[in-house]
Amino acid sequence: MRMRYAAALSVVVAAGLPPGATSPGTALAQAANKSAVSFKEDVLPIFQVHCAACHAAGGAGTAASGLDLTGYPGVMKGTKFGPMVIAGDPDSSNLMRLLDWKAGAQLRMPHDKQQLPVGERDTIRTWIRQGAKDN
């Protein structure tokens, strides 16, 4: 994904746009839309850094919700309350609602921490939009 970030930046610079002309995640999301986002290379590392401490076997998040974010099967299985990812539709995916903090404070993810950076949320959003593939 780092190469995609560099590619996105070079596209912005080559287009003659000043570096601050768009929000940080916008150019990156646009570049990511043009190339496939990989679950294993792009999305899973985000979950490993920000989510796996709670949403893994034996973790408090998994105990409370049933959501295991340590691999593709757990992400797609969702929670004991229902699916978290609607392939192709990030706006209807509960995962994005929680990560974008469009839910009550008690449901926002990650709990008691800063919101994930826009670029990381946009990577997950793009992966979902591209069909949430196990790639």
- Give the type of residue at 64: A
- Asked whether the predicted pLDDT for residue 123 surpasses 70, the reply is yes
DSSP state of 82: B
Domain of 51 in residue numbering reads as: 37-129
C-alpha to C-alpha distances, 131 to 6, 33, 35, 63, nearest whole angstrom: 24, 12, 13, 28
In this structure, the answer to whether residues 109 and 119 fall within a common structural domain is yes
Q: What is the pLDDT of residue 126?
A: 98
Beta bridge partners of 79: 82
Helices (H), 15-134: 24-34, 44-50, 60-65, 72-77, 94-99, 118-129
Q: Give residue-wise pLDDT tens across range 15-47.
A: 443 444 444 454 455 554 569 999 999 999 999
In this structure, the answer to whether residues 61 and 26 fall within a common structural domain is no
Q: Give residue-wise pLDDT tens across range 70-103.
A: 999 999 999 999 999 999 999 999 999 999 999 9
Question: Is residue 134 in some structural domain?
Answer: no
Q: What is the pLDDT of residue 32?
A: 46
In this structure, the answer to whether residues 42 and 19 fall within a common structural domain is no
Q: What is the pLDDT of residue 31?
A: 53
Q: What is the pLDDT of residue 12?
A: 35
In this structure, the answer to whether residues 60 and 73 fall within a common structural domain is yes
Question: Is residue 88 in some structural domain?
Answer: yes
Instruction: Answer yes or no: are the C-beta atoms of 116 and 50 closer than 8 Å.
Output: yes
Domains contained in the chain, number: 2
